[in-house]
Amino acid sequence: MHRAFLAVFLLAGVTASSGAEPAVFSKISWQPQILVNGTACLFTVEVRGTPQRVTAKWLDRDLEFFRGPNGIWYSLAGIAYEAKPGTYNLAFSALMPDGRMLHQVRPVIVHRARYKTSRLTVPEKYVTPDPETLKRIEADKAIKAVAFAHLIPSPQWSGDFIAPVPTDMSEAYGTTRTFNGKLASVHRGEDFHAPMGTPVRAANSGEVVLARELFYEGNCVVIDHGLGFMTMYMHLSQFDVKEGDKVEKDQVIALSGDTGRATGPHLHLAVRWNGEYLDPAKLLALKLPLNP
């Protein structure tokens, strides 16, 4: 619905970004201050007047902004693990009540993250799956694709994301891991020490879009926090929610376990945004606005 609006106003071709008038976009900022590949991030901007919609393009992604307290607009976003260090223009657009589209560009630097490497041993079936298992893995992919395509058009989260278990991290996001001395892959989540049966809490509010057993993930819950921002909880021993449930931040959604490709009981937390897996530790560190 917005897209049609946008097209009409773009055709009108009214833009303003020169220094001739006072800045429409001001106090552009982001968390964390140093942006690296794999991070979750929050952009904020003040926009003069009463725009009907504020968006931005950055790193080939469309960012949707929401009006927070005091006329500040914010967008929760992320940077792909594969993104190269460099300077990328954050291109804002604001649709004003009189139909004008206002634009401004701000260069933003992405630095290279320093991630680690590690070696793990797991049952051989998780490294060289047999044909029957490969079928199962393909079926899992289709199930996940449906869950990931779920769309809630506004943020469901409110305030900071919280750690789902009260224990320490055991393996960080971004670590390149070698399984059984052969398969190498990047760890696209964060592992927490979690003895069998530890209550696992929703990192923020949202809707459960997947709650079922998968081959690698084991018993897995996915929560959609709006606009394709999702958290995933893996290797669970028990579900306390089902698909379609609305959950509140801090609500117990499951018990931890060691199902799927796990070397022992732990909780793997993944953060997904627009098809990319982001660093959960960086998401948990963000200071986020309350959703009115």
Contact residues for Zn ion (CB under 5 A)? 189, 191, 268
In this structure, are residues 93 and 103 in contact, taking their beta carbons and an 8 Å threshold?
yes
In this structure, are residues 110 and 36 in contact, taking their beta carbons and an 8 Å threshold?
yes
Distances in Å between the Cα of 37 and the Cα atoms of 59, 77, 112 are: 11, 12, 6
* Residue 225 or 268 having the CB closest to Zn ion: 268
* Residue 47 or 270 having the CB closest to Zn ion: 270
**Minimum CB distance to Zn ion, residue 145 (Å):** 21
* Residue 268 or 282 having the CB closest to Zn ion: 268
87 alpha carbon, distance to own chain's centre: 21
Q: Return the residue matching tokens 């199962």.
A: 136
**Minimum CB distance to Zn ion, residue 175 (Å):** 9
**Minimum CB distance to Zn ion, residue 27 (Å):** 38
DSSP 290: P
For 251, the token pair is 């609500």
Q: β-strand 176-179 against 117-120: which pairing, if any?
A: parallel
**Minimum CB distance to Zn ion, residue 237 (Å):** 16
**Minimum CB distance to Zn ion, residue 173 (Å):** 9
**Minimum CB distance to Zn ion, residue 187 (Å):** 6
* Residue 174 or 226 having the CB closest to Zn ion: 174
Helix (H) or strand (E) holding 2: helix 2-12
**Residue number closest to Zn ion, CB atom:** 268
**Minimum CB distance to Zn ion, residue 189 (Å):** 5
Residues whose CB is less than 8 angstroms from the CB of residue 119 and which lie 6 or more positions away in sequence, other chains included? 177, 178, 181
Residues whose CB is less than 8 angstroms from the CB of residue 177 and which lie 6 or more positions away in sequence, other chains included? 117, 118, 119, 120, 184, 185, 186, 187
Helix (H) or strand (E) holding 140: helix 131-148
